Amino acid sequence: MSAPDNAAAIAAAVAAGRLTATAAVEAALARIAALDPGVNAFTDVTAERARARAAALDAHITAGKAPGPLAGVPFAVKNLFDVEGLATRAGSKINRERAPAARDGALVRRLEAAGAVLVGALNMGEYAYDFTGENAHDGPSRNPHDRERMSGGSSGGSGAAVAAGLVPLALGSDTNGSIRVPSAFCGTFGLKPTFGRLSRAGSFPFVASFDHLGALARSVADLALAYDAMQGADPDDPWQTPRPVEPVSEALAQGTTGLRIAVAGGYFARGGEQDCFAAVARAAEAVGATSGVEIPEAARARAAAFVITASEAAGLHLDRLRECPGDYDPAVRDRLIAGTTIPAAWVHRAQRFRSWYRARVLALFDEVDVILAPCTPCRALRLGQTTMELDGVTVPARPNIGVFTQPISFIGLPVVAVPVRVGGGLPLAVQVIAAPWREDLALRVAGAIEAAGVGAAPVAG
């Protein structure tokens, strides 16, 4: 049989003996070879490793051993994840001179322990400081629905690879929106878990107090399978919050029963193209959401997120900025240099505000379980586009793509990005936001939107 295009179906077929892991991996490698030259999602294809891993998995199954919940599923990771034998480039020129990673990052190991097969590393914005998916060193990852459009960033290769059907599952990172923006632009599902939920060991940092790792896929069930496989305490990550493994896959069948779902108003109901708000209305109708909430001071939260992001990122890069400033993408370098000039008092005020804002937003979840909001203020922009129009005002494109995602990751809430069809043209997405540690609720609502036929992630290319 030919390999299915989603992770759950591949794993079921491999476990049942209808498909070998080798056949699933060869199908992915063939599609990468045929389509990736036009999409530019991959920076490294680990074909030899993947074939060896698939053969070992097939032998394991032939011996009568359980193959794992992701048996034979090809996946790829943003190139800020450590992959044994590869330099962890994090989208940069500078990091290519680093020694190859001695072992895989924690989440790569966990997915392979569940039976998945790594097939390569993916393009990304330099050092994850990006919303567009345009890389100055490796070229832009292109939107499979229109190759003259952005894939979104900074996990642009992850979004493009899943949307193009090169892999059914990819890992990315999200600091201010870097999983959700590519999900919206490319039309995939994406999960940004609660801050501290999944191990970040074996990944290159951007902003330590904001960074999240998560998955992109073509279905909610696939996101849930990957999330379940990646959970668990890791002593190698001091930022991780100790919590028991809390599987979510079985909870999807509950749908929205008993859930209080609201639509974000105020800040989240203006400052974008009308189709973005129409997508939220369509998703709300699909799950019976009739109430609204206003997230307080979201604009200030976004401003504070900018301050902390710039300051922390600059601190991480000080030595490299002194030693080899010419090796940076100039746009990234200039933002990092600007971050070095931010007064400490500003950062202190931003952090104090962050505590206040978190408490106010968490109080909303006393009244509701899940909040719906737009994901991006627009559909995918053209490659090279530097400005866009919002509410009749021309604004810089790059920072404003994340206008709706930054106030949410600022306080580490779990979010599922759900593609929603509105009219024709390029994809749009809705954020499904829950209280900390309630990924199960966000995924249940996302699954209900998908089941209603409103949200779908068609394979492009």
| Residues 6 or more apart in contact with residue 25 via CB below 8 angstroms | 50, 51, 53, 54, 72, 74, 117, 119
Handedness of CA 336, 213, 298, 209 (dihedral sign): negative
Task: Give catalytic status of residue 154 as yes or no.
Answer: yes
Amino acid letter at 312? E
Q: Which helix (H) or strand (E) holds 300?
A: helix 298-323
Annotate 185-221 with b (16+ C-beta within 10 A) or e (fewer). bbbbbbbbbbbbbbbbbbbbbbbeebbbbbbbbbbbb
| Residues 6 or more apart in contact with residue 190 via CB below 8 angstroms | 159, 172, 174, 179, 180, 182, 183, 214, 215, 216, 217, 223, 416, 417, 429
Rounded Cα distance, 149 and 34, in Å: 20
Residue 100 three-state SS: coil
The DSSP annotation for 224-237 comes to HHHHHHH-S--TT-
Q: What is the DSSP letter of 176?
A: S
CA distances from 453 to 50, 169, 284, 286, 287 (A): 34, 21, 13, 9, 11
| Residue among 154, 183, 249, 409 flagged as catalytic | 154
| Residue among 151, 178, 199, 409 flagged as catalytic | 178
Structure tokens at 88: 């962890």
Handedness of CA 433, 439, 445, 450 (dihedral sign): positive
Q: Which helix (H) or strand (E) holds 316?
A: helix 298-323
Rounded Cα distance, 148 and 151, in Å: 9
Rounded Cα distance, 197 and 88, in Å: 23
Structure tokens at 313: 């990122």
| Residue among 78, 151, 203, 249 flagged as catalytic | 78
Rounded Cα distance, 216 and 188, in Å: 7
Rounded Cα distance, 248 and 240, in Å: 19
Chain-centre distance for alpha carbon 146: 20
Amino acid letter at 357? Y
Structure tokens at 336: 């990092």
> Which residues are catalytic, by number?
78, 154, 178
